């Protein structure tokens, strides 16, 4: 879609609007359930650590399951994955409501049910976030992610207050039943959505290999790696505010479940304001500056909440913290999405979720323990200081500028013909590429090859080496392995247009009139099968292709 023809907002796209509205209703239910669970735990007389563990029980499954869920979302129909996850959470919520109504809940049983609902959230998350890129054009992706955050925080601004009222009037079972009903609308919308997807040209990877490929891609992508570290740095102290919210209501303000809902509502209103301001902030500030301002807002809000002690000023402090919360997390999310090609985006988002929610889970537990030993106010004050220290550390690893990255698949690569018949599982495959480079270009060539090594390994190659011929110093040989011929095809189809800059630089450094020469060989042991049983069992003659890099 051309830039000039884009709608003014993603909400003008019928599909995105329908999913957004259904998600809004589901988010309302989730927040009502969260209030019911947290207040039920507090009303059981549980310790501050157990109250904080309600938040951890939702976050922990995201840490444990996100990578697996990301591999599932990249390999299967994302719509069907979301339908299964939403249906699972519906069933778990119904059983939780029945258990609460029957008076069977204990603190550990409550944590078990919230853990199961967290498992559904963990499976749903990567598929849902990756699907946003299928619903809107890439230029609208930051605004779409911000709108999703805004939708959640619209629910946060009203849902907790409604949840507190429901718990106060009808009990926790009614809050859990409300959450169960809220899944129905999103399930119906997803069931009617028929996304257009390009036909799959390669077999699916096994989930184990897909998970390893996702970890490898992220670990060898500096831009994504920095975002993950920054998400952890932000998340650990940032978790203190939502985790301590029931205790702020009960101990610092001496309120009940309705007060708790109002406090969460203020946090949500601030988050909505942050989401609405994100578009203007992106036009004025860099991504790094937005995250720094967001971290400062969260630190200030936590500190004020610790010491104010009155409802109205605490609401203002929480609104400030909520605005910073959504700005930081939505910015991290967009950064990961825009730094990941479509084939691995769900796994990259899953690893981001693991980093962010791992920080949140650890922070919830840590500050719950601190609150048990030193009080709620002290725990929030310490969280504020830690957030400021994290902001100082961020100067050492600023977020990269990735807005202009073109991660569409590179055009032009075609699977080469082979003189011997070869199967997709045949291998190992050894590829060598010969370059002729003048002496004066060697330093630049080595720098470009260092980047080439990262790209090769990121996309699945192993045993990468660079060799220089002792008899012909101008001759350099790049060498790498892939496990099978199918892996070789996948490796080359993962190359993006952004990677072409490296290819063009290497071309510019060759001696004029020469071309890179490619040899593809299959590795064979001396004890290989008889020729009659394996048509490709003989040594494969080198095949030269001077027209392209492979």
* 347 close to 126: Cβ distance less than 8 angstroms: yes
The DSSP result for 477-536, as a single string, is EEEEEESSHHHHHHHHHT-BGGGHHHHHHHHHHBPTT---EEEEEE---TTPPPTTT-TT
Q: Which two tokens stand for residue 456?
A: 């090769």
The DSSP secondary-structure symbol of 202 reads S
Q: What are phi and psi of 131, to 5 degrees?
A: -70, -20
* 24 close to 151: Cβ distance less than 8 angstroms: yes
| Domains of the chain by residue range | 10-192+206-394, 406-550
* 424: Cβ contacts below 8 Å, ≥ 6 apart: 203, 484, 485, 486, 489
Architecture of domain 406-550: 2-Layer Sandwich (3.30)
Q: Which two tokens stand for residue 165?
A: 């009222």
**CB environment 22-50: b (16+ within 10 A), e (fewer):** bbbbbbbbbbbbbbbbbbbbbeeebebbb
- Which among 525, 540, 523 has a CA at the least distance from the CA of 428? 523
CB count in 10 Å sphere of residue 106: 11
Architecture of domain 10-192+206-394: Up-down Bundle (1.20)
The DSSP secondary-structure symbol of 475 reads E
* 427: Cβ contacts below 8 Å, ≥ 6 apart: 482, 483, 484, 485, 487, 488, 522, 523
* 72 close to 124: Cβ distance less than 8 angstroms: no
The HSE-up count of residue 522 (CA atoms within 13 Å, CB side) is 25
* 118 close to 88: Cβ distance less than 8 angstroms: no
pLDDT for the residue 539: 42
How far lies 184's CA from each of 19, 25, 187, 190, in Å? Answer: 12, 9, 5, 10
For the entire predicted model, the pTM comes to 0.74
Can 10-192+206-394 and 406-550 be said to share one CATH topology? no
* 450: Cβ contacts below 8 Å, ≥ 6 apart: none
- Please state the separation of Cα 181 from the chain's center in Å: 27
Please identify which residue in the block is written with the tokens 């944590």: 111
Per-residue pLDDT of the chain (550 residues; tens, 9 = 90+): 445 455 667 777 778 888 888 888 887 888 788 778 877 777 776 666 677 778 777 777 877 888 888 888 888 888 888 899 989 999 988 998 888 888 887 888 888 888 898 888 888 888 887 787 777 776 777 777 777 777 776 776 666 667 777 877 777 788 888 888 888 888 888 888 877 666 666 777 788 888 899 999 999 999 899 999 999 989 889 888 888 888 888 888 878 777 877 887 788 788 878 877 877 888 788 888 889 999 999 999 999 998 887 888 999 999 999 889 888 888 888 888 888 888 888 889 888 888 887 788 788 888 888 888 888 899 999 999 999 998 887 788 888 877 777 788 787 778 888 888 888 888 899 999 999 999 999 999 999 999 999 999 999 999 999 999 999 999 999 999 999 999 999 999 888 888 888 989 998 999 988 888 999 999 888 765 555 444 444 444 444 444 444 5
pLDDT for the residue 240: 87
The DSSP result for 233-265, as a single string, is HHHHHHTHHHHHHHHIIIIIS---HHHHHHHHH
């Amino acid at each position: 879609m051309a830039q000039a023809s884009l709608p003014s907002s993603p909400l003008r796209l019928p599909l995105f609007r329908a999913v957004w509205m259904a998600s809004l209703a589901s988010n309302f239910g989730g927040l009502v359930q969260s209030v019911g669970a947290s207040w039920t735990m507090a009303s059981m007389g549980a310790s501050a650590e157990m109250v904080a563990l309600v938040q951890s029980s939702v976050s922990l499954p995201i840490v444990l399951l996100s990578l697996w869920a990301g591999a599932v979302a990249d390999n299967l129909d994302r719509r069907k994955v979301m339908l299964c996850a939403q249906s699972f959470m519906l069933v778990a919520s119904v059983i939780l409501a029945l258990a609460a109504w029957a008076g069977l809940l204990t603190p550990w049983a409550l944590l078990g049910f919230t853990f199961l609902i967290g498992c559904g959230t963990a499976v749903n998350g990567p598929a849902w976030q990756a699907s946003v890129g299928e619903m809107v054009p890439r230029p609208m992706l930051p605004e779409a992610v911000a709108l999703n955050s805004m939708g959640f925080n619209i629910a946060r601004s009203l849902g907790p207050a409604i949840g507190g009222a429901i718990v106060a009037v009808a009990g926790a079972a009614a809050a859990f039943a409300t959450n169960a009903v809220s899944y129905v609308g999103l399930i119906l919308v997803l069931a009617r959505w028929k996304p257009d997807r390009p036909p799959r040209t390669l077999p699916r990877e096994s989930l184990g290999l897909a998970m390893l490929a996702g970890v490898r891609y992220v670990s060898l992508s500096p831009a994504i790696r920095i975002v993950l570290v920054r998400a952890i740095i932000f998340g650990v102290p940032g978790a203190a505010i939502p985790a301590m919210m029931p205790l702020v209501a009960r101990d610092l303000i001496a309120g009940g479940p309705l007060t708790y809902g109002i406090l969460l509502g203020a946090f949500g209103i601030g988050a909505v304001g942050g989401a609405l301001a994100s578009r203007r902030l992106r036009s004025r500030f860099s991504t790094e500056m937005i995250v720094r301002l967001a971290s400062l807002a969260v630190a200030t809000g936590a500190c004020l909440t610790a010491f104010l002690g009155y409802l109205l000023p605490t609401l203002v402090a929480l609104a400030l913290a909520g605005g910073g919360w959504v700005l930081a997390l939505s910015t991290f999310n967009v950064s990961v999405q825009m730094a990941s090609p479509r084939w691995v985006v769900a796994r990259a988002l899953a690893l981001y979720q693991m980093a962010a929610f791992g920080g949140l889970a650890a922070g919830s537990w840590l500050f719950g323990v601190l609150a048990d030993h030193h009080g709620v106010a002290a725990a929030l004050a310490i969280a504020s200081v830690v957030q400021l220290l994290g902001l100082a550390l961020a100067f050492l690893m600023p977020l990269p500028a990735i807005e202009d990255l073109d991660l569409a698949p590179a055009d032009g690569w075609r699977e080469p013909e082979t003189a011997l018949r070869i199967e997709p599982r045949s291998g190992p495959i050894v590829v060598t590429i010969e370059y002729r480079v003048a002496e004066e270009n060697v330093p630049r060539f080595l720098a470009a090859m260092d980047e080439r090594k990262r790209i090769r390994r990121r996309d699945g190659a192993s045993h990468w080496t660079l060799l220089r011929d002792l008899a012909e110093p101008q001759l350099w040989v790049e060498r790498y392995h892939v496990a099978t011929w199918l892996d070789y095809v996948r490796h080359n189809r993962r190359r993006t247009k952004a990677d072409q800059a490296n290819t063009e630089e290497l071309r510019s450094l060759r001696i004029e009139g020469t071309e890179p020469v490619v040899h593809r060989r299959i590795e064979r042991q001396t004890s290989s099968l008889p020729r009659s049983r394996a048509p490709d069992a003989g040594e494969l003659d080198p095949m030269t292709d001077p027209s392209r890099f492979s």
